[in-house]
Amino acid sequence: MAPRGDGLLSHDLLPGEKGPQDACGVFGVWAPGEEVAKLAYFGLYALQHRGQESAGIATSNGEQLLVYKDMGLVSQVFDETALNALTGYLAIGHTRYSTTGASTWENAQPTLGATAGGTIALAHNGNLTNTGELVDLVAERYGAQRRGELARGNTTDTALVTALLAGDPDHTLEMTAREVLPRLRGAFSLVFMDERTLYAARDPQGVRPLVLGRLERGWVVASETSALDIVGASFVREVEPGELICIDADGLRSERFAPVDRAGCVFEYVYLARPDTSIAGRSVHSSRVEMGRQLAREFPVEADIVIPVPESGTPAAVGYAAESGIRFAQGLTKNAYVGRTFIQPSQTLRQLGIRLKLNPLREVIRGQRIVVVDDSIVRGNTQRALIRMLREAGAAEVHVRISSPPVKWPCFYGIDFASRAELIATGLSPAEVGASLGADSLGYISLEGMVAATEQPVAQLCTACFTGTYPIELPPSARLGKHLIEQNELPLGAPEDGLHTLVATTGGASALEQP
């Protein structure tokens, strides 16, 4: 069997050095006459940066729903044969990084469930905060029968939502969604479907992005506008916080299930989203360039060149250079073809891990006073190794500038940071962090400067990872955590004797079929 994704971001620089891991990417399309599986494939390809552990696509031809999913990158999971087998006129897709539940095939998405009138497939970006409450609700509703994905070993909050949306014989999926969605807390951008209808829903805070696009013969929903671009869809608008959208043969209809209480994730602007995406009408690239300009205003320094940590630090470095008048240079070369290696390096090579992906241009760096611009510092090990490498290449001075404030608090809404004890900024002042890294100076952008660069009101942003102020109320710590469902015995009994049967193949495909 071919090697599968190892769950590391493609721009992780040190083995075992965990940066801020992305949420997930979701995509949905309703387009009769189009090859919807291929549209979903390329949509997920554009969203690969949001999750690299597993990928999956579900399609329907109006009568039968099929899903194909497996561990690994989008390009590893799918080939022409798999995509040609996924026929139909509507599809959803998902690319995953695990924020709840382990990185296993059972937890890959889309998830499946049997409804009264057919089948539901669901994909989720975000992280729910009332998972414990939902476990109790599933047990209350279905008693001794463990339904669908939960019966097959799925330990994610997404499986709980799928079980709840499966509903009962007296309700359609749409009716059930109206009842279930207001009971969810936390971050959720959902795309889901039955045999004939595509649905999209977003939490009342709009923590994670979700957008609506138009095709000549249909509609698209996706995590980012860049996924619309790749499939030739025109941007229509955001899916509004607290909105449920339904798309079928009768067209598009929309309703509110909760009032808007906007708190979009500011870290999407800093790091998570692609630079060619727009969020809430603001270009992510322009935001990052402005963050760099603001950094130069807040933390000027006499230097010879400004270099980015590729690729995430590049727009901010461009802004810093433009504002300061210091020459921009490419001082680090990135090996674009080393997304992952499945060969374990020797201990000697492991100590040089950063050089696997970045190598200094010595003729650019030697004798220069350098400003190095990066998007964030989590543990600090990557920056420490990078500074050491630049000094070995002959840098006269190394000044580090960071286009976000110190990360001091964990995220419970879909980003998997290191634990608070591992965050270098938790116990040290900026000056102490700089000394620990071996930098000549260190400057973090101010919270006010970062927010201003997004052109969004601070009251409409979530800044919890920087401030510790969480816009969505959190449950007690005993009911929080990535492995909550795995660590706690579900108050559910044996698997149900359902109306539908799961058929799985070794290739990662599965279908829900009437027996």
Query: How does strand 186-193 pair with strand 119-128?
Result: antiparallel
User: Hey, is 467 helix, strand or coil?
Assistant: helix
Residue 276 assigned ligand-binding role:
no
Q: What is the dihedral of CA 58, 62, 63, 66, to 10 degrees?
A: -10
Cis amide prior to 410 (ω within 30 degrees): no
Residue 411 assigned ligand-binding role:
yes
CB 17 within 8 Å of CB 30: no
Q: What angle do CA 424, 426, 428 make, to 5 degrees?
A: 70
Q: How many CA atoms lie within 13 A of 363 on its CB side?
A: 0
E strand or H helix at 123, and its extent?
A: strand 119-128
Residue 265 assigned ligand-binding role:
yes
Q: In 354-429, which ranges are continuous DSSP H helix?
A: 362-365, 381-392, 424-427
Q: How many CA atoms lie within 13 A of 34 on its CB side?
A: 22
Measured distance CA(359)–CA(370) in Å, rounded? 15
Among residues 177, 194, 197, 190, the alpha carbon closest in space to that of 257 is found at 177
The one-character DSSP state at 239 is P
| Cβ atoms within 10 Å of 108's Cβ, excluding its own | 25
Residue 511 structure tokens = 């279908």
Query: What residues act catalytically?
Result: 24
Residue 375 assigned ligand-binding role:
yes
Residue 312 assigned ligand-binding role:
yes
For residue 378, the Cα-to-chain-centroid distance in whole angstroms is 17
Residue 374 assigned ligand-binding role:
yes
Residue 103 structure tokens = 């990185």
Measured distance CA(485)–CA(506) in Å, rounded? 26
Residue 157 assigned ligand-binding role:
no
CB 10 within 8 Å of CB 56: no
Residue ranges for the known binding site for Mg(2+) are 312, 374-375
Give binding residues as ranges.
265, 312, 374-375, 411, 462, 465
* Residues annotated in a binding site for [4Fe-4S] cluster: 265, 411, 462, 465
